[in-house]
Homo-oligomer: A and B are copies of this chain.
Amino acid sequence: MRFTSEQRLDDAVLEREFTLGEIPGILWTPAAASAPAPLILLGHPGGLRQMYPRLVGRARHCAALGFAAATIELPGGGDRPRFAAAEQARADLRRAVRAGEPVDDEIVDRLVLPLVDQAVPEWRATLDALLALPGIGGPVGFAGGVIAIGVRLAVVEPRISAAVLFAGSYVPRVIVEEARQVTIPLLVLLQWDDEGNDRQQALDLFDAFGSEEKTLHANMGGHTGVPSHEGDAGDRFFVRHLT
């Protein structure tokens, strides 16, 4: 892990850009941290630059709680090399949606599974590097999308203790099956009136999670209209489970 830039935000948060091999990422740490800070991994749908305003908002929330936060670019996102495995599937998906056709499971599998297969080891390598830094330690949470990545991480990465997942993307059936193996506490956010999202599939996924403690928060406001009070709810969820 190599740090490439550093700046302070409002004297409260230290923001450092880094690269891990070819993967760019950002680490935010609370400026006033004393003990090793719990860490929230911030997932997103790809395109770190476009997602930055939302991510830095979440990171400020985390810092206010005394948590570090970090994110990395997805395979094929931002300036990373095109992710060939998913490009044809994305084109097929767009064609099906434009034609008003149902999206085949096979297209969803081709779109999402290669991404999960590559992104999850990248997140785990990032976690190795982050936890080796001074000032970061203790429990780890995952927050955000792509939900299939969050599910796989929750299954295979024992250092992740709790997750906030956004039910907002296509989910392969094999991931729904993997969800039965998830046992960590979960907060799942669903936009009830999200026309680009299959509500029943999201409810089925929530049902499938094996976690004894899982909570679904469904709200109005469309795909991007998650109400601001859910940010506070996510904060409280992580405070309950990571401190």
Contacts and interface: CB of A to CB of B under 8 A. Distances in A.
Interface of A: 192, 203, 206-207, 211-220, 227, 229, 232-233, 236, 240
A219 to B, nearest CB: 5
A192 B208 CA distance: 12
Which secondary structure dominates chain A's binding surface? mixed
A156 to B, nearest CB: 23
Contacts of A214: 192, 219-220
27 contacts: A192-B206, A192-B207, A192-B214, A192-B216, A203-B203, A206-B218, A211-B220, A212-B220, A213-B220, A213-B227, A214-B219, A214-B220, A215-B217, A215-B218, A215-B219, A215-B220, A215-B227, A216-B216, A216-B217, A216-B218, A216-B219, A217-B217, A218-B218, A229-B236, A229-B240, A232-B236, A233-B233
A233 to B, nearest CB: 7
The CB with the most chain B CB atoms within 10 A, among A206, A218, A220, is that of A218
Nearest to A215: B219
A5 to B, nearest CB: 37
Contacts of A229: 236, 240
A212 to B, nearest CB: 6
